[in-house]
Amino acid sequence: MPISHTLADLLLHFARRLPHFARMWWSAVLNLAAQGLEQRHLVAWLASSSNYQKYTIDVGTNAGVWILIGLHDRRLAAVLAVLVTFAAGLVTIKPASAQQWNPFADLTTTNSSSDIGFTRNWQANPPPGYPTLSPANISATKEAIERYEKIVKGGGWKPIPPKKLAGGYNDPAVVILRKRLQLSGELDAGESWMPHQFDYSVETAVKRFQATNGLAPTGIVDKRTRAALNVTSKARLKQLKKGLSRIRQYTSKTKKGRYVVVNIPSAQIEAVENDKVVSRHAGVVGKVSRKTPILTSRVHELNFNPVWRLPPTVVSKDLIPKGRQMEKAGKDVLVKYGIDAYDGRGRKLDPEKIKWRSSMPHGLSYRQKPGKENPLGFVKINFHNGHSVYLHDTPSDSLFGRNFRAASSGCVRVHNVEDLAAWLLKDKDGWSKSQVIAMRESGESKNVRLKKPVRLILTYVTAWATADGVVQFRRDLYGKDGVGNAAGSY
């Protein structure tokens, strides 16, 4: 049922004229109820009001979740939301479910935003957002640095106590949490009449913090979120300064045109055209022990259904140890994984003649044919570099839904890689997303050179701000910021 502007204005006028005690009473009751209400009917009206800003995060139709954050007065917004809903006859009383929070039920019950499926979907399918290396981020990051210098000068923030906090909790730690979120800007400044209460305004502020720190916005202060909250303001300031320096290295190359950027700490890949993100992809980057290198190159070729030529690091650290282990158990690693071994003259060897405990395996080269077990998946994206790294698909996408995605040997795995491949080939006659998918389904091996190479940047940016004023932080995965372990431990 549509909500008229007349009704909206009337309710806004009514809510503002409520006596102070009445506003408190409405907030106390309705903050509890608001989380279980259907809010889709309120989006149009809230967005049309000049007194409010709407920040929505669309996590995909499968998740079916809309998060309203950033409202000018969140407590008033919660009251108005319920008043409008009641007035429009939209509320129906239902038993508590995964989508409704019952304040009288066990507080360990969570809503849909804390489901594992929601978290995985959020991590695997990030919204496009703003380019990490946009020239506009220079001035925005400078402003963020000024803000954080004031925070540091004022003494910073207190650490959040080691306990879980979520909607409905009443705990002294919420007071510390409120102050922490107010200092960094996720929660409006001002005193709360129920400071110990983890209410709707705190929950939405936590969601906003999580979304800008690379965490799924569940609204729950779990171990990872608490660790991110407890990184000191001094450390964050230092990261912002380093981020500014790093972004400056690239902005002369990112003002216009097309480029791909892999931000290693974010474990995300951006396809950018004329300073707009065309698509953003979850990625899997190198382990701490096998770091993805920082480099600039150009994508020049795509290999569809490629042969995997095992890089030296994988041979020495993975294949040979596994071969020795399996040999001891009477099994053959090459037979099990469908890998062929070749000597220095390019002759294919009989797997049974390879003695894994000798020095022989170190002098061989190894290849794996295209197929379901091939770790490159159906496409490999090539660019010239001295590290034997590349971007590629993967036969298993389970890692993309994780918060921590540093698990490769240095190469970068790309989720929904068919979109990136189609974008790279869009200037090539006869190539579209449907053609890319057809190559995946056919299993045909084919090498395709780009009509014009596309710039590729593998970079390491842990802190920056975007043109909308939002400050972003990511874990210091490889410890390059010099701020201690805390900034990389969540």
Which region among 129-133, 134-138, 326-330, 417-421 has the lowest average model confidence (pLDDT)? 326-330
Distance CA 11, CA 42 (A): 13
User: What pTM did the predictor assign?
Assistant: 0.77
* Mean pLDDT in residue range 134-158: 98
Q: Domain check: are 357 and 395 in the same one?
A: no
pLDDT at residue 121 in the model: 92
Active site residues: 392, 411
Q: Domain check: are 294 and 397 in the same one?
A: yes
**Does 416 reside within a domain?**
yes
pLDDT at residue 301 in the model: 98
Is there a contact between 270 and 280 (Cβ–Cβ < 8 Å)?
yes
Q: Domain check: are 302 and 386 in the same one?
A: yes
Containing structural domain, residue 301: 252-306+374-459
pLDDT at residue 131 in the model: 97
Contacts of 410 (CB under 8 A, 6+ apart): 286, 290, 291, 292, 293, 311, 313, 387, 388, 389
Q: What CATH number is attached to the domain comprising 426?
A: 2.40.440.10
Is there a contact between 425 and 450 (Cβ–Cβ < 8 Å)?
yes
**Which of 321, 345, 368 is the last residue before a domain boundary?**
368
pLDDT at residue 80 in the model: 53
How many domains is the chain built from? 3
pLDDT at residue 118 in the model: 87
**Does 117 reside within a domain?**
no
pLDDT at residue 36 in the model: 40
Residue type, 125: N
Contacts of 17 (CB under 8 A, 6+ apart): none
Q: Domain check: are 346 and 381 in the same one?
A: no
Q: Domain check: are 289 and 321 in the same one?
A: no
What share of the chain has pLDDT > 90, as a percent?
71
- 93 vs 8, higher pLDDT: 8
pLDDT in tens, 310-360: 988 899 999 999 999 999 999 999 999 999 999 999 999 999 999 999 999
